[in-house]
Every structure is written in C-alpha cells, then in structure tokens.
Amino acid sequence: MNILLTKKLSQEHLDLIKSWGWSYDIVEALKISPVEIEEIPARAEAWIVSSRNSMHAVKKFIDKASFIYCIGDWIKKEIEKLGVKITVKDFENMKSLASDLSEQNLRNVIYFCGDEHRNELKEGLKNTETKISKVVTHQSAMTFPVIRKEFDAVFVFSPRSAESLLKHNQFSGKTIFGCIGSTTAEYLNSRGISNTFAPSYPDSKKLLEELNRTLNFKH
C-alpha cells in the first residue's frame, strides 16, 4: 500500500503506518504560517476553535476562557491537558457546532481561525443576535504541488488542501481519498471524485485506523 499524505503527521501516526507495511510520501498541500497574537477581544461568552493551528493562541490566553466549542477530539484533549477548569464541547464539523451554538442565544463569541476559513459559522448564526469576533491565528497558502507518482490512497485534511492538490493533478478512479471529515469528502465529491472515505469522527489516527480496517475487511 503506497499512500500520499498532504500534511505532516506525528511520529506516532507515521509509526502506525509503517507497522502495517504501508509506504508513504509527504507532500504538503498547504503552507501554514502562525500569526503572533498580542491580545484578544475582552468579552466573550464562548470561544470557537476549529483548527489545531490555532492552539498556540488558545494556550496563550486560556485563562480568559470559560466555555470552548471545538471541532474534533484532538483539540478538546489538548485543552483539557492545560488543567484549566472550563467546559469544552467538541463537534464533528462546523455545521453541527453552529447549529448547537445558534440555540444558546449568546451575545459574543470569539472565533480562532485561519485567514482562509469557510463561512459555515457565519451562515449557521446568521439568524441569531450572536456577534462573532475573529482572531486570525494562522495564514495558509496553497502550494499547488505536482505529483509524479501513483498512489493507492491519498489523505487530505481540509477542502482547501484538496483544492490545492487538484490544481495540477488528476488521480485514477481506483485511488482512495482518505478525508479527515465529511466536509472534505463532500468537496471532493463536488470535484467528481467519488472514491472517498471519511472516519466516524474527524481525527487523523481514527482516519488511518478505520481505513486500514476497512481495507483489511475487503480483502
């Protein structure tokens, strides 16, 4: 099994891949640059964190948080490791987060995000009185890589990384696209790629393990 990873994964995840006898190449589809945050809005009833690339800012100002909504179990666990007594609620994707948040009637929330984020939160809250204050924690630039090998599976971790990858590349219909979540899979489907797989929850390890289990079951 020869796979392409479109971002760097932890050594734990790479060791897991190697333990299955898979070979991998890493070609980053996005270049992420952190933004140094000096201050955040003073009043907010909740924080929203959708990317692990925002964690440097979250950790810096964590003492000001009281309630955090986040995407994925990894961010929740990282926040809980900080040992602060705050409520953290995790969701599978931004649509479900925004749906829950729209029922809370909050006045002000802080959204820790990248410079190129999707508008799902704004759309989900458009019929509420909730004011969203954005704190841009990182910038992302598409690298538009050119892939010269064939792979059995390609792993993508956001619609934007998928867009970058598809700019100069076409893939065989046999290539499996492992997607971090349903939003990424939906984007690929909209681009005519139907051979997609998304895990039961948006987590890199879960994505790897569940796809491996699925492939083993088929064989």
Binned at pLDDT 50, 70 and 90, residue 8 comes out as very high
The CA-atom distances, in angstroms, between 134 and each of 23, 47, 92, 137, 171 are 40, 10, 21, 9, 36
| pLDDT at residue 218, rounded to an integer | 59
pTM for this entry: 0.81
27-40 pLDDT tens trace: 999 999 999 999 99
Binned at pLDDT 50, 70 and 90, residue 201 comes out as confident
Which residues of the chain are in CATH 3.40.50.10090 domains?
A: 2-7+25-30+143-218, 42-140
- What's the CATH fold of domain 42-140? Rossmann fold (3.40.50)
Question: What average pLDDT does range 39-64 have in this prediction?
Answer: 93
Binned at pLDDT 50, 70 and 90, residue 2 comes out as very high
- What's the CATH fold of domain 2-7+25-30+143-218? Rossmann fold (3.40.50)
